[in-house]
Amino acid sequence: MTKQIKFIQGNEACVEGALYAGLDFFAGYPITPSTEIAEHLSKLLPQKGGKFIQMEDEIASMCAIIGASLTGHKVLTATSGPGFSLKQESLGYAVMAEIPCVIVNVQRGGPSTGVPTHVSQGDVMQARWGTHGDHSIVALTASNHQDVFAMTVEAFNIAETFRTPVILLFDEVVGHMRERLEIPEPGEIPLVKRLRTAVKGGVDYHPYLPREDGRLPMSDFGDVHRYNVTGLVHDMWGFPSDNPKIVHGLLRHLVDKIENNASQMARYKTFYLEDADTVLVSFGSAARSALHIVESLRPRGEKIGLLELQTIWPFPADIVSQYCNNAKYTVVVEMNMGQVCQMVKTTVRHPERVFLANRIDGVFITPTDIKNILRLIKGKGV
């Protein structure tokens, strides 16, 4: 079989990845710069018997995918800043009720309506803390279409494995840029199926009791187990409880199931890091400029490399420490006011050696921008 090769937008690469992962339900609302995801799925989903619905608002879209996940489907919604804000309450519901689902946020400039058609990476902390209350979250990102595809598949796999919402934190440049995508053969990337309970009908089933391996087998709405799903703190049957032991236990479980598996979820790429004394840390489209500058400075003998983060949350602290602890300069390249930079500073041994190379004006950060900032940091002048 010949490889299927496409020349498409990043948003379409995300669609292809979602379909490869087995997506069969999408609910969304039009918003720049993520709308193409909805448009393409409205065409492609019914072709494979899946369902697409344009809901009345962003909140409803998030709620609808949670409902559809409970009937046993792989579900997705896509949005950008303002819509991501609106989804936060129901995102928290998905955390609390442990509903597998994937939420795409193609980031644009904010706050508020901001710069809708321009790029930003300003929602890193919102992804982490946007919904209220203590919790953990998974957020992945990518800098090119092959990785957008792979990370989208990964998002569905993590959502199913850990019964959790997973955020895909893309950005306007990746979303709208066109480049080559090679669709992997079926089976080339392993897919995680919904883990369903083996408990027979009439036997007590505990939807919220983790197995020894930490996973929680589900039962589809419509099947033999009738249980309760709620955003209230609940016991192992899903019924509300304010028993302090249950409250504490559930909160610990929700946080631990993500944080204790951070290394398993850590996806990243390294470029020229073996001997690097200057380590760029970047993600999403900004990592493309970072890689470009690394590759143009290397031939001049500069010991510079790139750590590209693909998992943003849970923050891959071990990986960042491993590559940055001994660097003379760690420079975080991002299009926000230092949201990942802060995390790197709290992670590494020498926070005073961590610098920010950023742009926050809606214009894509270029290799020249990074080069100039590097010269400033190293006291070479521009």
| Residue type at position 260 | N
Considering the complex, state which of residue 51 and residue 292 has its C-beta at the smaller distance from other proteins: 51
Cβ–Cβ < 8 Å for 337, 314: no
In terms of Cα–Cα distance, which of 316, 299, 300 is closest to 139? 316
Within the chain, what is the greatest distance between any pair of CA atoms? 74
Cβ–Cβ < 8 Å for 231, 89: no
Among 15, 18, 37, 64, binds other proteins (CB under 8 A): 64
Is 56 a residue that touches other proteins (CB under 8 A)? yes
Among 18, 31, 41, 66, binds other proteins (CB under 8 A): 66
Phi/psi at 10 (5° precision): -60, -35
Is 72 a residue that touches other proteins (CB under 8 A)? yes
Is 49 a residue that touches other proteins (CB under 8 A)? yes
Residue with the two structure tokens 């509903």: 99
Site for other proteins in 12-31 (CB under 8 A): 24-25, 27
Q: Residue 193 has what DSSP assignment?
A: P
Among 19, 65, 76, 304, binds other proteins (CB under 8 A): 65
Stretch of 58-66, 135-143, 270-278, 336-344 lying at the interface with other proteins (CB under 8 A): 58-66
Which helix H or strand E contains 270, and what residues bound it? strand 268-271
**Dist CA 106 CA 82 (whole Å):** 11
Q: How far is the CB of 82 from other proteins (least distance, A)?
A: 16
Considering the complex, state which of residue 67 and residue 362 has its C-beta at the smaller distance from other proteins: 67
**Dist CA 319 CA 212 (whole Å):** 27
**Dist CA 119 CA 279 (whole Å):** 24
Considering the complex, state which of residue 68 and residue 258 has its C-beta at the smaller distance from other proteins: 68
Per-position x/- string for 201-240, each x denoting binding to other proteins as judged by CB under 8 A, each - no binding: -------------------xxxxx-xxxxxxx------xx
Considering the complex, state which of residue 53 and residue 183 has its C-beta at the smaller distance from other proteins: 53
DSSP codes, 292-361: HHHHHHGGGT--EEEEEESEEES--HHHHHHHHTT-SEEEEEESSSSHHHHHHHHHSS-GGGEEEEE--S
Q: How far is the CB of 93 from other proteins (least distance, A)?
A: 5
**Dist CA 218 CA 193 (whole Å):** 11
Considering the complex, state which of residue 196 and residue 349 has its C-beta at the smaller distance from other proteins: 196
Considering the complex, state which of residue 14 and residue 44 has its C-beta at the smaller distance from other proteins: 44
Q: How far is the CB of 97 from other proteins (least distance, A)?
A: 9
Cβ–Cβ < 8 Å for 51, 44: no
Is 53 a residue that touches other proteins (CB under 8 A)? yes
Cα separations in angstroms, 317 against 126, 219, 329? 19, 35, 17
Cβ–Cβ < 8 Å for 117, 108: yes
Stretch of 54-62, 146-154, 315-323, 347-355 lying at the interface with other proteins (CB under 8 A): 54-62
Among 15, 68, 177, 331, binds other proteins (CB under 8 A): 68
Among 6, 32, 39, 59, binds other proteins (CB under 8 A): 59
Among 39, 55, 85, 303, binds other proteins (CB under 8 A): 55
| Residue type at position 65 | I
Stretch of 46-54, 103-111, 297-305, 313-321 lying at the interface with other proteins (CB under 8 A): 46-54
Residue with the two structure tokens 């199931």: 257
Q: How far is the CB of 211 from other proteins (least distance, A)?
A: 22
* C-beta neighbour count of 46 within 10 angstroms: 11
Cβ–Cβ < 8 Å for 184, 138: no
Among 2, 3, 47, 198, binds other proteins (CB under 8 A): 47
Among 40, 73, 176, 345, binds other proteins (CB under 8 A): 73
Site for other proteins in 302-321 (CB under 8 A): none
Binding residues for other proteins, rule CB under 8 A, total 44
Site for other proteins in 86-105 (CB under 8 A): 89-90, 93
**Dist CA 238 CA 240 (whole Å):** 7
Give the footprint of other proteins on this chain (CB under 8 A): 24-25, 27, 43, 46-47, 49, 51, 53, 55-57, 59-61, 63-73, 75, 89-90, 93, 220-224, 226-232, 239-240
